[in-house]
Homo-oligomer: A and B are copies of this chain.
Amino acid sequence: MVAMPHPTAAKPAATRKDVARLAGVSSAVVSYVVNGGPKKVSPATEAKVRDAIAALGYRPNAAARALKLGSSEMLGMVVPDATNSFFATLAHAVEEAAAERGYALLIANSGGSLSAERRQVENLVSRRVDGVFLCSVLFEPDLRDLEAAEIPAVLLNHSAESPGFDSVGVALQDGARLAVEHLAQHGHRKIGLIMGTNTGGDLDAREVGWRQGIEEAGLQAGPVMRGPFSREGGYRAGKWLLNEADRPTAVFASSDLQAVGLLKACHEAGVRVPEDLAVVSFDGSAEAEYSWPPLTTVAQPVEDMARAAVEALVGGGGHKRNRIFPGTLIRRASCGC
């Protein structure tokens, strides 16, 4: 507690009962006016109740409500790293969409570790969230805890058709293909790849898309460098790539963050972008607009995805389905445009 010079000693927060007493009605009536139902209340009584509520500064107790209703009116979201601006933006958008429907959002970080992810999910389960958005490190996450607790889940940032899962994501493969296509149109013949590594070790669809784009352009695959989805990861990958004997003239990076790291490696090495090396990346985060040069990137429709995810979770809609949104190429300077 809290060093308080409160002259009015700790009055223990008004309950619905206090309001009822003050308004001279039963506690049920208070409930009716607070919740606008399920019964009607005469305008006169309603006014009295509202006055009493205001006078007492009454606020419904969310815990009691949650207990009674079996719903916490909270949603959970687990992301690998809320510090990554893409996930930060996504979480923010989800938060807003959830708030519109009266839900609060509990955000948990897994740090990209499977065990932490499980722990966070368990934590959310025990807090009785009404649903969870899972940006899993795994391609096919283990949802048993959630199923056992009957908590609906939607895989966010999941971009494959996975019957049995509810998911929303972006078309990774198409997006990557788009990026490579664009680079090919700029005349590049040797296009490398800086690819983020997934914990699960599955093949990322962006890699498939990159390869597809290259094949469709009748080119040969450039060098591939793998590393974490981070600035640091991109930087290391960049250093390696620039020292390669057959250095590509263009690179597709699987995230903006990695591209930012790559850019740093280029600047340090005196490699000019886009003249010596063209770059296109993925995500469309704000940071990409302010790097130098500004990054051409395949933007994810974050707002739409967030809305769709919330809709899937609490929209009451029926069946599980996979919603996949298209990415859009944003042309800036790094590709040579």
Which positions in A face B, CB cutoff 8 Å? Answer: 1-4, 10, 13, 57, 59-64, 66-67, 72, 74, 82-83, 85, 88-89, 91-92, 95-96, 104-109, 123, 125-128, 140, 142-144, 147-150, 152, 163-165, 231, 235, 260-261, 263-264, 267, 286-287, 289-294, 318-320
Contacts and interface: CB of A to CB of B under 8 A. Distances in A.
Given A149-B13, A290-B264, A104 B106 contact: yes
27 contacts: A1-B140, A1-B142, A1-B144, A1-B152, A3-B164, A13-B149, A59-B126, A62-B128, A63-B66, A63-B72, A63-B128, A66-B66, A74-B106, A82-B82, A82-B91, A82-B92, A83-B89, A85-B85, A88-B88, A92-B109, A104-B123, A105-B106, A261-B290, A263-B292, A264-B292, A264-B294, A292-B292
A63 B59 contact: no
A67 B70 CA distance: 13
Contacts of A165: 3
A82 B165 CA distance: 29
Contacts of A286: 83, 231
A231 B10 CA distance: 45
A53 B74 CA distance: 25
Contacts of A152: 1-2
Contacts of A260: 290
Nearest to A67: B63
B104 A290 contact: no
Top 8 closest pairs, chain A to chain B, by CB:
A3-B164, A63-B66, A63-B67, A3-B319, A231-B290, A62-B127, A267-B292, A88-B88
Contacts of A128: 61-63
Most buried by B among A2, A82, A96, A147: A2
A126 B92 contact: no
A3 to B, nearest CB: 3
How many copies of this chain sit in the oligomeric assembly? 2
Given A63-B128, A128-B63, A320 B290 contact: no
Most buried by B among A13, A107, A149, A261: A107
A126 B62 contact: yes
A3 B148 CA distance: 13
Contacts of A91: 82
Most buried by B among A82, A147, A231: A82
Nearest to A153: B2
Given A88-B85, A92-B109, A61 B67 contact: yes
A164 B2 contact: yes
B148 A57 contact: yes
Contact of A83 (B92, B104, B140): B92
B127 A104 contact: yes
A144 B106 contact: no
A80 to B, nearest CB: 12
Contacts of A143: 1-2
Nearest to A313: B2
Most buried by B among A126, A140, A165: A126
Contact of A3 (B60, B96, B163, B289): B163
